[in-house]
A and B are shown apart, each in its own frame.
Chain A
């Protein structure tokens, strides 16, 4: 009698996670980004930055309140850095489908590299409006009143109804297969990231601007992140309802006005 065939051993769960969900690294980065945001927020309310009802901007002077309002290079750099952390926390999770798709359809030894080159291209695009906003706010000594955020959220809700916004969101959902090897593959991944970044700016610029001007309102950022990620990760178009997105933004706007 021959021996019964031995079933191949099932690999450990973490091996299978990496096999089927190579985008797990995105989860780690997202958690880190949120941890930094929450810590920055905690530092703010504990008085590192003077607070008079309105927390400070990332681009604003984080030094002593008595110091001059003149921008310092380090404050500016901190502002840009914090802005990128905010973009990573709020926007990067929405890149999940694109990163996973690119990983699974790349050569095995390039799967993480391909996904993170994509993410780098994407964040580079988001860095440009970030630089602009942080620079302006570090030069102009202006603390935006709360109603500005509320108005921006209302405008963002209206933006949801525009064809430009609809087409940008569709472009956020598209992926392309990239070349297999070498510089050509690296460049294609970065280019895809840039394309997705541009589509994402077209979709979310008002939401990000609102979140920026309400910096350190971590709760608002968290809710906006859920809205953005839901729109971009849900594949079933029947469950991607512009009315819900716009409605949530309106509710948030009223929350900002009256709470």
Chain B
């Protein structure tokens, strides 16, 4: 039987405490009660993503900064969904109807579908279950106050899948600069072991942005899956993969790489990308069935450029570490001309231009993110949005403070070919450019659009959020590459 994963806001709009969400809440409660050594428990499932406690072939396995990011998380969600459905099947009659029992599927948080969808869904903010007494397992205190109160929401930039869907290739060679939809071609890569890899565009936005925006648990590797919204967030990332029109890799290195999981009975099992490439072979579909241009996709313009068969070449970079501490921050980028393969190529202009933000380190992720801009020194990104490069977030940055990880810091890469051409055409591309980082907070929901669910619970968490907002992080280098 094929089950259908539905968009969470469409469930919320049908009825408060939709049976699918009510059943999910009870299943989370049950999983939380299970002992941490039980592979089907809440804590064990989070440890599968990341943990410092007895990592093994099942635990501490999440894949990031790599072409395994999407396939690993699809399998991870699938086994989690099996565990939840198994629990839902056994729930008592008064709590769940037969239809939900048989067809329970993990909903997805379709924040890239419209303004209303960028708010955390009500079932995750309600203080109690529908009986009005039982504390709601889907609401956790470790979220930013405004998000948990429904008074702030993800920004358009956090939620946008436009840049990801515009990518034409799934994977890129690990060369430190070139972007792709799904991530660089690496060996299994838990954090940032692969020194030349950059994350896929989808992994940066919306994936990392949403992690950063929701709250302290969602911002860190070890705790993200302890927030029940994590699973709906990743279901949307998985959904965006089904909507992407490009071809998946055919390399056996991608198809045949095995990862270990447990099924609903706690029995060890393995999974490969080959087995999860089609969602139907895992027994599920999405309610939107294929590419649907939402409101945010309106002005999407896919890159039609091919990726040339030559390495990307560094032509510009910043000189010193840049500290981001909550304020608008600028740094000079010294720009030269290519002297490598591009300088001898037939075509004079680069086919692709990239901007990288490298070696981002810090002990704790700030709750704010930063938008990155590139422009001439006398231009101002706050007055014109034409210089926008992309957003950077700090999901997992706490791993860079650990002595036992292989990271060189977080790394980001953005395709800035259009921006480069605009600056060139306007005569503003010179040997000194400026990179600007502007802080971005969660967006305030206009008062007339609020539902007040969970709003009265927010005060306690407010103070903690303030402390974290501008927690400093260091950027090692910003680079400009041409290919």
Contacts and interface: CB of A to CB of B under 8 A. Distances in A.
Interface stretch (A53-61, A167-175, A244-252): A167-175
A74 interface: no
A108 interface: yes
A97 B317 contact: no
Contacts of B297: none
B339 interface: yes
A180 interface: yes
Contact of A107 (B176, B190, B315): B315
B406 A238 contact: no
A101 B190 CA distance: 19
Contacts of B107: none
Nearest to A238: B188
Contact of A176 (B193, B336, B359): B359
B51 to A, nearest CB: 14
Contact of A109 (B339, B341, B403, B407): B339
Size category, B interface:
35 or more
Contact of A173 (B173, B175, B193, B409): B193
B175 A174 contact: no
B157 interface: no
A238 B61 CA distance: 9
B53 to A, nearest CB: 15
Contact of A8 (B313, B345, B479): B345
Interface string A1-41: 00000001011000000011000000000000000000000
Interface in A230-251: 234-239
B317 A236 contact: no
Interface string A81-119: 000000000000000011011001111110000000000
Contacts, number: 99
Contacts of A106: 314
Nearest to A180: B317
Interface in A39-95: none
Contacts of B176: 101, 104-105, 177
B189 A236 contact: yes
B314 A8 contact: no
A8 B317 contact: no
A143 interface: no
A187 to B, nearest CB: 12
Nearest to B344: A11
Nearest to B477: A177
A175 B193 contact: no
A129 interface: no
Contacts of B309: 10
A85 B250 CA distance: 44
Size category, A interface:
35 or more
Contacts of A236: 187-189, 193
A237 B358 contact: no
B455 to A, nearest CB: 44
B366 interface: no
B90 interface: no
B194 interface: yes
A179 B317 contact: yes
A181 B405 contact: no
Contacts of B409: 176
Interface string B140-165: 00000000000000000000000000
B82 interface: no
A53 to B, nearest CB: 43
A106 B313 CA distance: 8
Contact of B195 (A107, A167, A175): A175
A177 B357 CA distance: 10
A43 B246 CA distance: 61
A180 to B, nearest CB: 4
Contacts of A174: 195, 406-408
Nearest to B340: A108
A105 B334 CA distance: 15
Given A109-B339, A166-B404, A235 B313 contact: no
Contacts of B377: none
A167 B406 contact: no
Given A107-B314, A108-B314, A235-B187, A179 B477 contact: yes
Contacts of B175: 104
B464 interface: no
Given A106-B314, A177-B477, A97 B195 contact: yes
Contact of B403 (A105, A171, A235, A239): A171
Contact of B316 (A19, A173, A180): A180
B309 to A, nearest CB: 8
B341 A19 contact: yes
A133 to B, nearest CB: 28
Contacts of A239: 187
B411 to A, nearest CB: 9
Contact of B406 (A11, A100, A173): A173
Interface string B458-483: 00000000000000000011010000
B336 A107 contact: yes
A240 to B, nearest CB: 9
Contacts of B188: 236, 238
Contacts of B404: 163, 166-167, 170
Contact of B193 (A98, A107, A167, A235): A235
Given A109-B339, A180-B317, A235-B189, A20 B311 contact: yes
B63 to A, nearest CB: 11
B19 interface: no
A179 B176 CA distance: 15
Q: Which 6 A-B pairs have the closest CB atoms?
A: A108-B340, A236-B187, A173-B406, A167-B403, A177-B477, A180-B317
Given A107-B315, A175-B195, A177-B476, 19 more contacts: A19-B340, A98-B195, A104-B176, A104-B196, A105-B314, A107-B336, A109-B339, A170-B403, A170-B406, A173-B193, A173-B406, A176-B359, A177-B408, A180-B317, A181-B334, A181-B336, A236-B188, A236-B189, A237-B406
30 contacts: A8-B346, A10-B309, A19-B311, A19-B341, A20-B311, A101-B195, A104-B176, A104-B196, A105-B479, A107-B336, A109-B339, A166-B404, A170-B405, A173-B193, A173-B406, A175-B195, A176-B409, A177-B176, A177-B317, A177-B358, A177-B408, A177-B476, A177-B477, A178-B477, A179-B317, A179-B477, A180-B316, A181-B336, A235-B189, A238-B57
Interface of A: 8, 10-11, 19-20, 97-98, 100-101, 104-109, 163, 166-167, 170-171, 173-181, 184, 234-239
